[in-house]
Chain A
Amino acid sequence: MTYWKNYHLPTSIQEAVNLLTQYNGQARIVGGGTDLILEMQQGRQLPVEALIDPTQIPELNQITKEEGYLVIGAGVTHTQIVADKKIVRYGTCLVESCGVIGGPQVRNVATLAGNVAHALPAGDGTISLLALDGEVQIASDDGLRWTPLGGTFLGPGKSAIDPTRALITRLRFKPTGPNEGPSGEGSAFRRVMRPQGVALPIIGMAVRLKVENDAFVFARITIGPAGPTPFLAEKTMAYLTGKPANKQTFSEAAEVALAEVNLRSSRHRATAEYRIEMIRTQLPKTLAQAVARAKTGKVVPEGVGM
């Protein structure tokens, strides 16, 4: 079958935008293609005139530190993220999530930008980037603009970024700590599913938090799938502010989260009840781990590289 007629590898953002304009809605952006091509083959995405692949644009192929942000280009693969020392240290949950997607072959081509654009409620990298309070840079006819990540999700698989009109060029977040040693900030990600594989997770969760004097300054918590879009557990976050960072709080946080999430039984992944049990047991552990990292500054990502 033919799913596209032309495949373009622009070398600049402008060229990519021009191509989109030229095709006038008949072309779309592709990253690593690990989701999109499968969906095309399975008939869940329509064939297009052209695919435009921005991953070879040199300036989008790097991880940099700019204006107090860690910036990840749209061409950066999961493997690059996992190997990046800055992100290991200052965006640990992103490494832990990007490190468990698919297998090595998938991670070698799949991009975080592609994961974000796919807008699945349980995209591992997306869940973590949302916990980190990430932002997206979008290029279109109107130029470049930054927008909060959370605002780009419209529904399961539906992004506000129209892949036939615009492309994600960069992603960024503020690092969890500016210096060596304990910064008071930390993050962690945990996922429930088989050790390895191409399947969707049963449930995933990410946290970014700050503690001072053994109390929460703030915590950002994301869970997926727990609704039509990546879920930001705002009530749980509000609950945690100012609370002591101890075991009892962690357990209470899980109960607050359970009251605000919308968990469903999927026909071939898990029942809602199993997911409830996993949030109840795993969210406290995710919080505890992020707190430990925040307090000690010691970070060893878990579960990466299968």
Chain B
Amino acid sequence: MADSDKVIGKSIKRIDAFGKVTGQTLYPGDRNQENELWLKILFARRPHARVLDIDTSEAKALPGVMDVLTAEDVPINQYGLQIPDQPVLCGPRSNKKGGDIVRFVGDQVAVVIAENEEIAAKARDLIKVEYGDLPVVSDPEFALSGRAPELHPNVFNNVAEYKQIRKGDPDATWDTCNVIIEGVYQTPLQEHAYLQPEAGTAYVDDEGRITVHCAGQWTWEDQQQIAHALDLPPEKIRVIYDAIGGAFGGREDISVQIALALAVLRTYQRYGNRRPMKIIWTREESMIGHCKRHPMIIYCKWGAKSDGTLLAAETKIISDAGAYMYTSNKVLANAAITCTGPYEIPNVTIDAYVIYTNNVPNGAFRGFGSPQSHFAAEMQMNKLAEKLGKDPVDLRLKNILDGDKLLAVGTTIPGGVSLDTVIRKVAWKSNWTYPGKRGENNPDYPEDLPRFVKGRAFAAGFKNIGFSLGFQENSWAQVELLGKVEIEEAVLRIAGADVGQGHHTVMAQIAAEALDVDLDKITLKVSDTAFTQSSGSASASRLTMLAGNAVKEAAEFALRKWRREDRPAIAEATWLAPKTTPLDPKTGYGVPNFAYGYVAQMAEVTVDTEMGFITVDRVVCADDVGKAINPDQIVGQIEGAIAQAHGYTILEDFRVEKGQVLTPYFNTYLIPGVYDIPKRVESIIIEDPHPDGPYGARGMAEMPYLPYSAVIASAVFDAIGIWYDDFPLTPERVLRGLGKVRSRW
């Protein structure tokens, strides 16, 4: 196929590059409108309290303030991506029960509308709120214990979601195992840290629609949630995405959208106001205002034969939902499905809980539960290799899933499995050799350790592409061909969010390929609910595969019409992915996904045993992408995922105390810079076509993230002989492992 490719398979320069590099492209905060009003949101800044009274009189009296909105101004005071469990504004006289309860520091209490940002901020500070503080629940295991107060009505023991998976009988198997590996793994919170904090503008458009410009991941879903809260039909709401400065899952849930639309609605109703609105969150507001990666505690017990064959696994996952559901239920399911790693284990029990607390809500973040589960699974695997004295690569190859083997959910993997290929490629490219058990070839801990010690390790991973568990995955696209004799212009309408990953470029490439025209003939019209339907979310590594199929089909239909002499030739397509099923509530049996991606990694590290710093010298990463539509963008995704996972593993230490965020700035919450990230990343693109992918493409953007924490922690073990079952591997934690520092925070 590759030989006939004209536009795909080539590293075409990003179509959005020029505008972004020259500063011409508008991000939501850059849109300056004539005569605009500014919003400021009053955040509760307390983790658990009842709002007894709000006095806005002083704020409203401040010159330049148009209005101050509170709970009683919200038509339907609830929203949420999975379930509408969060008040738009917390306060008395909410029309939804429990709408007066603040459940985390970032809950919103009031929206100020004023002549400019300064007055809005001043007015916000003049609002008097009387709170009745409630007990703060910050530890998920305590929240689950039965001794904690219930944070949501009728949610017993604060269990937001529970997943149970049963296959075979581990209890009957342990006796037949020659070796058992047990571990308790703790993974940290992570902040998305996108460059552009939440921002947006809003106004009533010429057709009377409340129009919100913002940066999100799914225009259609934002439109639905705004419409619900405002009690308006969705067609009265229009959502347009400006350029998006990173998302990584953190923009999947609502941030400023409803507040903006609500301000437009109420000021129009009350004052006939038609002036546009604007809001930009500060970094600190962004830090407390949007969700984080779920911290999890994962209890593992795995058993194997002495030849390394895995026989049984028993896993318990405790995940912290934070204050509201967001996508916690789906993240939990993903973590549960992948917590046995990319291996076949015949006997499995998995009990997975996600628990409400008064912490900042946790939600979608690159990998969606799988980085956490892979940390546990791949550490287990490397510990097993060490215990048996077996090559971790051979041990993996012996146990990996293929097209015939059964997942923990009792079914096979659809769409091809390339674990064998990615693992072998990485082993080959990195000249992997097994040095034998660590204890036999390395100096003993800790007296004889030199200052700098090197180590290397291996890990692998897999994850679903697209939405799962019975949701009928779909994506819409429209192609309009203009011209007379030849196609002069092809207008491609899509709603997939280009969050920075290069989605629009890839879609233009696919359209050009399918139409057999040059790339410069393609005009993109994107992400405006006035003329785009749902292309689905920019998440779950799904857009290239899902939206790519829709674009390809729409282009092919349009071309057929063109050949039938339609002028213009317009066609649209909604691509439907193969069906999936929910998990059986008792056994977890099901076909949760229609496609997966595969990855393997080797990492080499240097550990400074005196100061505790870890340097990653080299990472070799192979990722099966099915078909590389734009190879440079794929390398960018691999390197970007590794840099982000590096922050998660080594540096990023999001600290929360009794529900209060202690690290709301980048001078305390450290994200990696160019001197922190691995010195060398060697990306290997594997193209094992997916039968349902456009030109064989499968999603890939999350995969390189998955094995990273485990491969680094295992390489650190290889270096200094200490297993770190929790991270980030800050210098302090490293020295604590070496016994040089004993205290904890």
Q: Find out whether the CB atom of A196 lies under 8 angstroms from the CB atom of B676.
A: yes
| Interfacial chain A residues near B62, Cβ < 8 Å | none
With A103-B673, A197-B673, A199-B667 known as contacts, the answer to whether A274 contacts B657 (CB < 8 A) is: no
Check A271–B745 contact: CB distance below 8 A. Answer: yes
Taking a contact as CB atoms under 8 Å apart, the answer to whether A267 and B662 are in contact is yes
Pair B118/A198 contact, Cβ less than 8 Å: no
Q: How far is the CA of A197 from the CA of B674 in the complex (A)?
A: 10
Task: Choose the segment among B101-109, B581-589, B734-742 that binds chain A (4+ C-beta atoms closer than 8 Å).
Answer: B734-742
Instruction: Using CB atoms, name the residue of chain B closest to A285.
Output: B610
Contact flag A281-B117 (CB < 8 Å), given A200-B667, A272-B743? no
Complex Cα spacing A267 to B118, Å: 31
A residues near B (Cβ < 8 Å) are 1-2, 41-42, 103, 192, 194-200, 202, 265, 267-274, 277-278, 281-282, 306
Please give, as numbers and ranges, the residues of chain B lying within 8 Å of A198 by CB-CB distance: 666-667
Contacts of B673 in A (CB 8 A): 103, 194-197
A41-B282, A103-B673, A194-B675 are known; give 5 further A-B pairs, CB within 8 A.
Answer: A197-B676, A265-B745, A270-B731, A271-B741, A306-B675
Whether a CB of chain A sits under 8 angstroms from the CB of B126 is no
The interface residues of chain A lying within 8 Å CB-to-CB of B653 are: 268
Does B26 count as interface, using CB distance less than 8 angstroms? no
State whether A271 and B743 are in contact (beta carbons under 8 Å apart), knowing that A195-B675, A196-B675 are contacts in the complex.
Answer: yes
Contacts of A194 in B (CB 8 A): 613, 651, 670, 673, 675-676
* A268 engages B674 (CB within 8 Å): no
With the chains together, A282 CA to B735 CA distance in Å? 14
Q: CB-CB < 8 A to B726: which residues of A?
A: none
Rounded to whole Å, the gap between the CB of B568 and the closest CB of chain A is 49
Q: Which 10 A-B pairs have CB atoms at the shortest separation, nearest pair first?
A: A196-B675, A195-B675, A268-B668, A273-B743, A274-B732, A273-B741, A196-B673, A271-B743, A274-B741, A281-B610
Q: What is the distance, in angstroms, from B311's C-beta to the closest C-beta of chain A?
A: 42
- Chain B's closest residue to A282 (CB) is B611
B 663-698 to A, binary, CB cutoff 8 A, 1 in contact else 0: 101111110011110000000000000000000000
What are 13 pairs between A and B in contact, CB < 8 Å?
A1-B118, A195-B676, A197-B670, A199-B668, A265-B745, A267-B655, A267-B657, A268-B655, A268-B663, A268-B669, A271-B741, A271-B745, A274-B735
Closest to A41 in B: B282
Is B745's CB under 8 angstroms from A277's CB?
A: no
Instruction: Say whether B744 contacts A271, CB under 8 Å.
Output: yes
- Which A residue sits closest to B615, measured CB to CB? A195
Chain B nearest CB, measured from A264 CB (Å): 12
In the bound complex, how far is the Cα of B721 from the Cα of A276, in angstroms? Answer: 24
Q: Which residues of chain B are near A281, meaning CB under 8 Å? A: 610-611
Q: Is residue B444 within 8 Å, beta carbon to beta carbon, of the partner chain?
A: no
A199 CA / B732 CA spacing, docked (Å): 16
Instruction: Flag B706-745 by CB within 8 Å of A: 1 or 0 each.
Output: 0000000000000000000000000110010000111111
Let me know if A1 and B740 touch, CB within 8 A: no
- Contact present for A278 and B676 (CB under 8 Å): no
Closest CB of chain A to B64's CB: distance in Å? Answer: 13
In the complex, how many angstroms separate the beta carbon of B118 from the nearest chain A beta carbon? 5
Counting CB contacts under 8 A, is B121 at the interface?
yes
Q: B284 at interface (Cβ–Cβ under 8 A)? A: yes
Residue contact B284 to A274, C-beta cutoff 8 Å? no
In the complex, chain B residues whose CB is within 8 Å of the CB of A41:
282
Q: Which residue from chain A places its CB closest to the CB of B655 in the assembled complex?
A: A268
Interface residue SS majority, chain B: loop
Chain B residues closer than 8 Å to A103, beta-carbon distance: 673
Instruction: Give the distance to chain A from B122, nearest Cβ to Cβ, in Å.
Output: 10
Given A1-B121, A194-B651, answer yes or no on A199-B731 (Cβ-Cβ < 8 Å): no
B197 to chain A, nearest CB (A): 13
In the complex, the answer to whether A277 meets B667 with C-beta atoms within 8 Å is: no
Structural contact, A278 and B118, CB atoms closer than 8 A: no
* Whole-angstrom CA separation of A281 from B669 in the bound complex: 26
User: For residue B732, which residues in chain A have a CB less than 8 angstroms away from its CB?
Assistant: 270-271, 274
> Of B117, B669, B674, B731, which contacts A274 at CB under 8 A?
B731
Complex Cα spacing A282 to B670, Å: 23
Would A277 and B735 count as touching, CB distance under 8 A?
yes
Complex formed: what's the CA distance from A172 to B744 in Å? Answer: 42
Q: How far is the CA of A42 from the CA of B674 in the complex (A)?
A: 26
Smallest distance from the beta carbon of A220 to chain B beta carbons, Å? 24
User: Would you give the 0/1 interface string for B637-668, flagging 1 where the beta carbon is closer than 8 Å to chain A?
Assistant: 00000000000000101010100001101111
Q: A196-B674, A274-B731, A278-B611 are in contact. Are A267 and B745 (CB under 8 A)?
A: yes
Asked if A199 meets B743 with Cβ closer than 8 Å, knowing A192-B611, A268-B655, A274-B735, the reply is: no
Residues of A within 8 A of B669 (CB): 268
Q: How far is the CA of A199 from the CA of B613 in the complex (A)?
A: 16
CB neighbours (8 Å) of B735 from chain A are 274, 277
A247 → chain B closest CB, angstroms: 15
Q: In the assembly, what is the distance between CA of A268 and CA of B660, in Å?
A: 13
Q: Which residue from chain A places its CB closest to the CB of B657 in the assembled complex? A: A267
| Chain B residue with the shortest CB-CB distance to A2 | B118
Query: Which B residue sits closest to A270, measured CB to CB?
Result: B732
Nearest B-chain residue to A47, judged by Cβ:
B118
Q: What residues on B are CB-neighbors of A199 within 8 Å?
A: 667-668, 670
Q: How far is the CB of A65 from chain B (nearest CB, A)?
A: 34
CA distance A278 to B613 in the complex (A): 12
What is the minimal beta-carbon distance from B740 to any residue of chain A, in angstroms?
Answer: 5
CA distance A195 to B675 in the complex (A): 6
Provide the residues of chain A in CB contact with B611, threshold 8 Å. 192, 278, 281-282
With both beta carbons as reference points, the residue of chain B lying nearest to A3 in the complex is identified as B118
Per-residue contact bits, chain B 589-613, to A (CB 8 Å; 1 contact, 0 not): 0000000000000000000001111
Which of A103, A198, A273, A282 has the most chain B CB within a 10 Å cutoff? Answer: A273
Cα of A253 to Cα of B657 in the assembled complex, Å: 37
User: What A residues does B651 contact at CB under 8 A?
Assistant: 194
- CA–CA, A192 and B732, complex, Å: 11
- Is the pair A277, B741 in contact by a Cβ cutoff of 8 Å? yes
Which A residues lie within 8 Å of B666 (CB)?
Answer: 198
Report whether A42 and B117 are in contact in the complex, using a CB–CB cutoff of 8 Å: no
Give chain A residues whose Cβ lies under 8 Å from the Cβ of B742: 273
Partner of B740, one of A202, A268, A277: A277
Q: How far is the CA of A75 from the CA of B667 in the complex (A)?
A: 25
CB distance from A196 to the nearest CB of B (A): 4
Give CA–CA (A103, B676) in the complex, Å: 13
Roughly how many angstroms separate A242 CA and B663 CA in the complex, as a whole number?
Answer: 46
B window 204-225: CB within 8 A of A: none
Q: Closest approach, in angstroms, between the C-beta of B264 and any C-beta of chain A?
A: 23
- C-alpha gap A267/B660 in the complex (Å): 12
- Chain B residues with Cβ below 8 Å from A268 are 653, 655, 662-663, 668-669
Bound-state CA distance A200–B669 (Å) is: 11
* A305: min CB distance to chain B, Å: 10
CA distance A277 to B117 in the complex (A): 47
Task: Return B193 CB to nearest CB of chain A, in Å.
Answer: 13
Q: How far apart sit A240 and B653, CA to CA, in the bound complex (Å)?
A: 39
Tell me, in angstroms, the Cα distance from A272 to B743 when the chains sit together: 9
Smallest CB separation, B491 vs chain A (Å): 41
In the complex, chain A residues whose CB is within 8 Å of the CB of B613: 194
Contacts of B741 in A (CB 8 A): 271, 273-274, 277
Complex interface: chain A residues within 8 A of B745 (CB):
265, 267, 271
Asked if B665 contacts A42 (CB within 8 A), the reply is yes
| A265 and B743 within 8 A (CB) | yes
Q: How far is A42 from B667 in the complex, measured between Cα atoms in Å? A: 12
Give the CA-CA distance A269 to B745 in the complex, in Å.
Answer: 10
B43 to chain A, nearest CB (A): 14
Report Cα–Cα, A290/B651, bound state, in Å. Answer: 31
> How far does the alpha carbon of A164 sit from the alpha carbon of B365 in the complex, in Å?
47
Shortest distance from the beta carbon of A289 to any chain B beta carbon, whole Å: 15
Q: Which residues of the partner chain A approach B118 to less than 8 Å between Cβ atoms?
A: 1-2
Question: Given the interface contacts A274-B741, A278-B611, does A1 sit within 8 Å of B676 by beta carbon?
Answer: no
Q: How far is the CA of A195 from the CA of B735 in the complex (A)?
A: 18
Determine the distance from Cα of A278 to Cα of B610 in the docked complex, in whole angstroms: 8
CA A274 to CA B653, docked complex, whole Å: 16
CB distance from A191 to the nearest CB of B (A): 11
Chain A residues whose C-beta falls within 8 Å of the C-beta of B674 in the assembled complex:
196
